Protein backbone atom coordinates (compact mmCIF):
# COMPACT_ATOMS: atom_id res chain seq x y z
CA UNK A 1 0.00 0.00 0.00
CA UNK A 2 1.41 3.34 -1.05
CA UNK A 3 1.68 6.17 1.44
CA UNK A 4 -0.64 8.29 -0.67
CA UNK A 5 -3.40 5.68 -0.44
CA UNK A 6 -3.48 6.39 3.28
CA UNK A 7 -3.71 10.17 2.98
CA UNK A 8 -7.41 10.98 3.38
CA UNK A 9 -8.98 13.94 5.23
CA UNK A 10 -10.27 11.68 8.02
CA UNK A 11 -6.74 10.91 9.25
CA UNK A 12 -5.55 14.53 9.25
CA UNK A 13 -5.96 16.85 12.26
CA UNK A 14 -5.44 20.60 12.11
CA UNK A 15 -4.67 22.11 14.50
CA UNK A 16 -3.44 19.71 17.14
CA UNK A 17 -4.60 21.06 20.48
CA UNK A 18 -2.09 19.29 22.73
CA UNK A 19 0.83 21.26 24.06
CA UNK A 20 3.20 18.43 24.97
CA UNK A 21 4.67 15.28 23.48
CA UNK A 22 2.54 12.66 25.22
CA UNK A 23 -0.59 14.65 24.45
CA UNK A 24 0.29 14.81 20.76
CA UNK A 25 0.81 11.04 20.60
CA UNK A 26 -2.57 10.46 22.26
CA UNK A 27 -4.23 12.92 19.92
CA UNK A 28 -2.78 11.29 16.80
CA UNK A 29 -3.76 7.79 17.91
CA UNK A 30 -7.23 9.14 18.69
CA UNK A 31 -7.43 10.38 15.10
CA UNK A 32 -7.00 6.78 13.92
CA UNK A 33 -9.57 5.54 16.42
CA UNK A 34 -12.12 8.18 15.48
CA UNK A 35 -11.59 7.45 11.79
CA UNK A 36 -12.38 3.78 12.48
CA UNK A 37 -8.88 2.69 11.52
CA UNK A 38 -7.98 1.02 14.84
CA UNK A 39 -9.90 -0.68 17.65
CA UNK A 40 -7.28 -0.98 20.39
CA UNK A 41 -6.29 2.58 21.29
CA UNK A 42 -4.07 1.56 24.20
CA UNK A 43 -2.05 -1.02 22.24
CA UNK A 44 -1.30 1.45 19.45
CA UNK A 45 -0.43 4.25 21.87
CA UNK A 46 1.85 1.91 23.82
CA UNK A 47 3.91 0.90 20.78
CA UNK A 48 4.54 4.47 19.61
CA UNK A 49 5.21 5.67 23.15
CA UNK A 50 7.71 2.83 23.70
CA UNK A 51 9.58 3.89 20.57
CA UNK A 52 9.62 7.53 21.69
CA UNK A 53 11.00 6.46 25.06
CA UNK A 54 14.10 5.07 23.31
CA UNK A 55 14.73 8.24 21.33
CA UNK A 56 12.54 11.00 19.98
CA UNK A 57 11.36 10.66 16.38
CA UNK A 58 11.41 14.45 16.16
CA UNK A 59 13.71 15.19 13.23
CA UNK A 60 14.99 18.51 12.00
CA UNK A 61 13.00 21.32 10.44
CA UNK A 62 9.85 20.77 12.53
CA UNK A 63 8.95 17.22 11.47
CA UNK A 64 8.32 14.14 13.60
CA UNK A 65 7.64 10.57 12.54
CA UNK A 66 6.29 8.56 15.49
CA UNK A 67 5.99 4.92 14.45
CA UNK A 68 5.75 1.33 15.57
CA UNK A 69 4.58 -2.19 14.82
CA UNK A 70 1.74 -3.92 16.60
CA UNK A 71 -0.63 -6.83 15.93
CA UNK A 72 -3.38 -4.39 16.92
CA UNK A 73 -3.46 -3.22 13.29
CA UNK A 74 -3.92 -5.51 10.31
CA UNK A 75 -2.77 -3.01 7.72
CA UNK A 76 -0.57 0.05 7.71
CA UNK A 77 -2.19 3.16 9.22
CA UNK A 78 -1.21 6.82 8.96
CA UNK A 79 -2.29 9.88 10.93
CA UNK A 80 -1.09 13.39 10.12
CA UNK A 81 -1.18 16.26 12.56
CA UNK A 82 -0.30 19.93 12.18
CA UNK A 83 0.60 22.17 15.09
CA UNK A 84 1.00 25.67 13.61
CA UNK A 85 2.70 27.07 16.71
CA UNK A 86 5.01 24.09 17.15
CA UNK A 87 5.38 21.69 20.07
CA UNK A 88 8.45 20.67 22.04
CA UNK A 89 8.99 17.09 20.82
CA UNK A 90 12.64 16.73 21.87
CA UNK A 91 13.60 17.06 18.23
CA UNK A 92 17.16 16.57 16.96
CA UNK A 93 17.68 20.27 16.29
CA UNK A 94 15.81 21.42 19.37
CA UNK A 95 13.29 23.35 17.30
CA UNK A 96 9.52 23.07 17.86
CA UNK A 97 7.78 20.41 15.78
CA UNK A 98 4.90 21.46 13.56
CA UNK A 99 4.28 18.49 11.30
CA UNK A 100 3.61 14.95 12.56
CA UNK A 101 3.35 11.73 10.56
CA UNK A 102 2.32 8.80 12.74
CA UNK A 103 2.70 5.38 11.07
CA UNK A 104 1.67 2.11 12.64
CA UNK A 105 2.02 -1.19 10.84
CA UNK A 106 1.40 -4.87 11.33
CA UNK A 107 4.46 -6.98 12.25
CA UNK A 108 3.83 -9.32 9.32
CA UNK A 109 3.73 -6.56 6.70
CA UNK A 110 7.05 -4.90 7.31
CA UNK A 111 7.86 -4.21 3.66
CA UNK A 112 5.01 -1.75 3.00
CA UNK A 113 5.66 -0.17 6.43
CA UNK A 114 9.32 0.47 5.63
CA UNK A 115 8.42 1.80 2.20
CA UNK A 116 5.90 4.26 3.66
CA UNK A 117 8.42 5.46 6.24
CA UNK A 118 10.97 5.94 3.46
CA UNK A 119 8.40 7.99 1.53
CA UNK A 120 7.98 10.23 4.58
CA UNK A 121 11.76 10.52 4.91
CA UNK A 122 11.98 11.74 1.30
CA UNK A 123 9.10 14.11 1.86
CA UNK A 124 10.88 15.52 4.89
CA UNK A 125 13.79 16.53 2.67
CA UNK A 126 11.54 18.92 0.73
CA UNK A 127 11.52 22.07 2.82
CA UNK A 128 9.06 23.76 0.48
CA UNK A 129 6.48 21.00 0.80
CA UNK A 130 6.96 20.70 4.56
CA UNK A 131 6.48 24.45 4.98
CA UNK A 132 3.33 24.28 2.89
CA UNK A 133 1.99 21.32 4.87
CA UNK A 134 2.79 22.99 8.19
CA UNK A 135 0.95 26.08 6.97
CA UNK A 136 -2.13 24.21 5.77
CA UNK A 137 -5.37 25.38 7.34
CA UNK A 138 -7.64 22.49 6.42
CA UNK A 139 -7.40 18.72 6.17
CA UNK A 140 -8.30 18.92 2.52
CA UNK A 141 -5.37 21.23 1.86
CA UNK A 142 -2.98 18.62 3.28
CA UNK A 143 -4.45 15.94 1.03
CA UNK A 144 -4.30 18.30 -1.95
CA UNK A 145 -0.67 19.17 -1.28
CA UNK A 146 0.39 15.53 -1.24
CA UNK A 147 -1.72 14.34 -4.13
CA UNK A 148 -2.02 15.50 -7.71
CA UNK A 149 -5.76 15.90 -8.13
Partner 1 sequence: MRKPIQRIMVYIDGSEPSITGAQYAICLASLSGAELVACYIVNTTAVEELLRAKIFLRDEQIEYERDMEADAERYLNYVGDLAARKGVAIIREKGRGSVHKEIVEAVKRHDVDLLVVGELSQIRSRRDEFYSEAERAMRAAPCSVLIVKDEDRVSEMYESLA
Q: What residues act catalytically? A: 67
Provide the 10 A C-beta neighbour count for residue 71.
Answer: 11
Please select the residue that binds partner 1; options are 13, 21, 37, 69, rule is CB under 8 A. Answer: 69
C-alpha to C-alpha distance for 6 and 105, rounded to whole angstroms: 12
Q: How far is the CB of 114 from partner 1 (least distance, A)?
A: 5
Of 48, 101, 105, nearest to 75 by C-alpha is 105
Q: How far is the CB of 131 from partner 1 (least distance, A)?
A: 15
Q: How far is the CB of 122 from partner 1 (least distance, A)?
A: 4
Nearer to partner 1, 14 or 59 (CB): 59
Please select the residue that binds partner 1; options are 17, 126, 127, 138, rule is CB under 8 A. Answer: 126
129 binds partner 1 (CB under 8 A): yes
Please select the residue that binds partner 1; options are 82, 124, 130, 142, rule is CB under 8 A. Answer: 124
Nearer to partner 1, 7 or 82 (CB): 7
Burial tier of 46 (Cβ tally within 10 Å: 0-12, 13-18, 19+): middle
119 binds partner 1 (CB under 8 A): yes
User: Helix (H) and strand (E) counts for the chain?
Assistant: 6, 5
Supply the Cα-derived Rg of the chain in whole angstroms.
Answer: 14
83 binds partner 1 (CB under 8 A): no
Question: Three-class SS of residue 16?
Answer: coil
Amino acid sequence: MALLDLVVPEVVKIPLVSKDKSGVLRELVAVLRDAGKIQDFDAVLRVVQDREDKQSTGLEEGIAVPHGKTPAVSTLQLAIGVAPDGIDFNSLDGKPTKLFFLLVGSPDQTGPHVQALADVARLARSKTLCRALAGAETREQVVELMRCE
